[in-house]
Amino acid sequence: MTFKLPVLLAALSAALLIAGCQKSSDATNKPAPKPPEVGVVTVTAQDAPLELALPGRLSAGQVAEIRPQVSGIVQRRLFTEGSMVRAGQPLYQIDAASFEAERARAAAALQKAEAQAANAKARAARDAELLQSGIVTRQAGDDSAAALRQAEAEVAVARAALEAARIQLARTRIEAPISGRVDLSTVTPGALVTANQTQALTTVQQLDPMQVDIVQSSAELLALRRQLEGRSGSNQLQIVLEDGTVYPLPGQLQVSGVAVDRGTGAVTLRASVPNPKGQLLPGMVVTAKLLAGIDAGAILVPQQGVSRSPTGEATALVVGADNKAERRRLKLERAVGNQWLVTAGLKVGDKLIVEGLQRARPNQPVTPVPAGSAPKKRGEGKPAAAASAPKA
């Protein structure tokens, strides 16, 4: 029994040594891992639209705030709130009794002045005949002629007073100065209004066409002008509504501000947009897309293939020599849809990695495949083997 324990230990040591050799042999014969597959796109030159998207706010083409020009009591409101009115349509009627009386008084004063003028004219003509006959003195003739001129001047004053009375009487009937949609009324019949008061009675807004005020920084304006040098642009723009829908009718760029706002450093652009169905309303915030031209031969790459370094520098991975990933520093000019316009760092023919970036490492080999390949072809997305049920 004493010799069995050493024999048993020797056998156990031999078994462990054989198992270790087998594991070492298996590790040595295990094949090296394959380079990770990455989806790539080939960089090509293409035409890029010089499109500038800026926020804007809609405003009415014309706005008229209705205020009374005479004082009085509002007798009637002659429009339906929110309806369309035409230029010259009556909106309010102010009590005109006192203005009618003033017009009548001015008319009577004119008649009196005309009668006096007629009398003075007849006297002046008579004195002129008598002066030629030597019956009256020259002084008497000059006095009658001066009286005629004074009477004629009084007629002119009375006629002007009558015209002013007629104008004041006409202003008791407040009319729409422009055609458009009328807003809510701030007064009701029976309210006292005063001439040129601060509060408007209502507002009339012309909704067709509408105006779009676009605020653009002076730096963006200078960049846009540089882009337009030597290229053909268009002054048409596209309107995108708040819900993301594109307005079907194009707008027309009309005028650019002539000064830069000192507080914001921005310039206001104004465009006109047709609004025949009244779909656009004043105050709506929209996005105005201005197609300034075409940048021929530009390099556009998918945005998912571009990343940012901790310092904010744009970088990308491309497949270089021997299928090794290379990191490139890029210079981006602007976004074009879901792509970046690259001005430096890439050239036509480069293979940009856009899929599998988390598996690629700079200076490490990769297996490039066309981006968007099916998961079966790329060794991805295979269903995992079903786990065996535990045995009882």
Indicate the SS3 state at residue 89: coil
Cα–Cα dist 379/373, whole Å:
10
Indicate the SS3 state at residue 100: helix
- On whether both 257 and 140 belong to a single domain, the answer is no
Ranges of residues in the chain with a pLDDT under 50 are 1-3, 27, 232, 376-392
Cα–Cα dist 230/247, whole Å:
30
Residue 246 is given by DSSP the state B
What are the tokens at 235? 């002054």
386 within some domain: no
User: Count of alpha carbons within 13 Å of 139, Cβ hemisphere only?
Assistant: 0
- On whether both 321 and 227 belong to a single domain, the answer is no
390 within some domain: no
pLDDT at 31: 66
- On whether both 72 and 195 belong to a single domain, the answer is yes
CA torsion angle 323 328 331 336 (round to 10): 40
Domain at 355, CATH number? 2.40.420.20
DSSP 168-223: HHHTTEEE-SS-EEE---S--TT-EE-TT-SS-SEEEEEEEEEEEEEEEEHHHHHH
- Which secondary-structure segment (H or E) carries 131? helix 97-133
Indicate the SS3 state at residue 360: coil
What are the tokens at 245? 């829908």
Domain at 267, CATH number? 2.40.30.170
Q: How many angstroms from the chain centroid is the CA of residue 328?
A: 37
- On whether both 73 and 190 belong to a single domain, the answer is yes
160 within some domain: yes
- On whether both 148 and 166 belong to a single domain, the answer is yes
- On whether both 317 and 341 belong to a single domain, the answer is yes
- On whether both 315 and 284 belong to a single domain, the answer is no
pLDDT at 376: 45
Which residues are 302's β-sheet partners? 339
Domain at 164, CATH number? 1.10.287.470
Domain final residue pick, 262, 293, 324: 293
Domain final residue pick, 258, 273, 293: 293
Cα–Cα dist 153/117, whole Å:
9
User: Count of alpha carbons within 13 Å of 232, Cβ hemisphere only?
Assistant: 0
Domain final residue pick, 240, 263, 293: 293
Query: Domains in the chain: how many in total?
Result: 4
Which residues are 316's β-sheet partners? 328
What are the tokens at 99? 């203005």
Range of the domain at 265: 51-60+206-293
307 within some domain: yes
111 within some domain: yes
Q: What pTM was computed for the model?
A: 0.59
- On whether both 261 and 356 belong to a single domain, the answer is no
The answer to whether the CB of 277 falls within 8 A of the CB of 263 is no
pLDDT at 15: 59
246 within some domain: yes
The answer to whether the CB of 73 falls within 8 A of the CB of 192 is yes
348 within some domain: yes
- On whether both 213 and 151 belong to a single domain, the answer is no
Cα–Cα dist 257/147, whole Å:
60
- On whether both 118 and 147 belong to a single domain, the answer is yes
Burial of residue 68 (CB within 10 Å: 0-12, 13-18, 19+) is buried
- Cα angle 344, 327, 368 (rounded to 5 degrees) comes to 105
Cα–Cα dist 298/292, whole Å:
15
Residue 166 is given by DSSP the state H
110 within some domain: yes
- On whether both 327 and 362 belong to a single domain, the answer is yes
Burial of residue 152 (CB within 10 Å: 0-12, 13-18, 19+) is middle
Cα–Cα dist 116/104, whole Å:
19
Domain at 190, CATH number? 2.40.50.100
- On whether both 77 and 181 belong to a single domain, the answer is yes
